[in-house]
C-alpha cells in the first residue's frame, strides 16, 4: 500500500508540474531545434511579437535601455504565482520609477503556447493591466529555452542578459526593481 501511495504521489506531482515544464518536439509540424537556456551574458534572441494591445515588439526595440522579458503560461501554477509580482513591476514602470529618466521600462510578456482566449479570462480575474503576447505555439519561447517557466530575463542597453530567473526561486517585484536599478547606475 505504501509503495502504491508513493507511486501515486509521484505521478500526481509530475502531472501538476506538466504545465510548467512540458516540451513539445514539433511546432506547426516542423521539427524544433531548441536552444540551450539563455544565461547571463547571452544576447537576447531575435524575435518579433504582437502584443494584445496591437503593438509590435522586436528585439531591436529593447536596445538602448534596460528591459525585461517574461515568459509564462496561464496553465502553469508557478507563473500564476509570479505574474502579480510582474504586474507590480509594470505599475512602477508606468510611473517612471525604474529607468532613472521618468520613461517606462520595456516589460514584454510572451506566452508559451497560450492563445488570447486562454489568457484573457485569467488577466481579467487578476485585474492585470500589462499587455501580453499570445502565442499559438512555442516558436518564440524556444528561442529562449527548451523548457521551464516562468522565466524572467533582465537585459542591459545592449540587449545582453544581466539577470535571469527560471522556474524556482522567482523574485519579488522589489528584487526585480533592485536588479534594474543596478543596470541604471
Strands 107-111 and 132-133: parallel
CA 26, 29, 35, 37 dihedral sign is negative
Over residues 83-131, the pLDDT tens digits come to 999 999 999 999 999 888 888 999 999 999 999 999 999 999 999 999 9
C-alpha angle 162/97/48, rounded to 5°?
50
**179 vs 183: CA distance, rounded Å:** 7
Residue 50 CA to residue 54 CA, distance in Å, equals 6
- Over the stretch 19-75, which tens digit does the pLDDT of each residue have? 465 544 334 444 444 457 899 999 999 999 999 999 999 999 999 999 999 999 999
Question: Residue 34 in contact with residue 142, Cβ under 8 Å?
Answer: yes
CATH architecture of the domain formed by 2-184 = 3-Layer(aba) Sandwich (3.40)
Tell me if 137 sits within 8 A of 112, measured CB to CB: no
pTM metric for this prediction: 0.83
Amino acid at each position: 500500500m505504501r509503495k502504491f501511495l508513493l507511486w501515486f504521489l509521484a505521478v500526481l506531482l509530475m502531472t501538476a508540474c506538466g504545465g510548467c515544464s512540458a516540451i513539445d518536439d514539433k511546432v506547426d509540424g516542423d521539427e524544433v531545434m531548441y536552444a540551450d537556456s539563455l544565461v547571463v551574458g547571452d544576447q537576447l534572441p531575435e524575435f518579433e511579437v504582437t502584443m494584445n494591445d496591437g503593438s509590435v515588439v522586436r528585439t531591436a526595440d529593447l536596445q538602448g535601455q534596460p528591459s525585461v522579458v517574461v515568459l509564462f503560461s496561464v496553465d502553469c501554477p508557478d507563473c500564476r504565482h509570479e505574474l502579480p509580482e510582474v504586474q507590480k513591476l509594470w505599475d512602477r514602470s508606468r510611473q517612471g520609477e525604474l529607468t532613472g529618466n521618468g520613461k517606462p521600462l520595456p516589460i514584454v510578456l510572451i506566452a508559451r503556447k497560450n492563445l488570447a482566449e486562454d489568457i484573457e479570462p485569467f488577466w481579467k480575474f487578476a485585474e492585470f493591466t500589462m499587455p501580453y503576447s499570445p502565442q499559438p505555439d512555442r516558436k518564440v519561447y524556444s528561442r529562449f529555452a527548451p523548457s521551464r517557466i516562468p522565466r524572467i530575463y533582465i537585459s542591459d542597453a545592449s540587449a545582453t542578459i544581466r539577470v535571469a530567473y527560471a522556474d524556482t526561486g522567482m523574485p519579488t517585484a522589489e528584487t526585480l526593481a533592485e536588479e534594474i536599478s543596478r543596470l541604471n547606475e
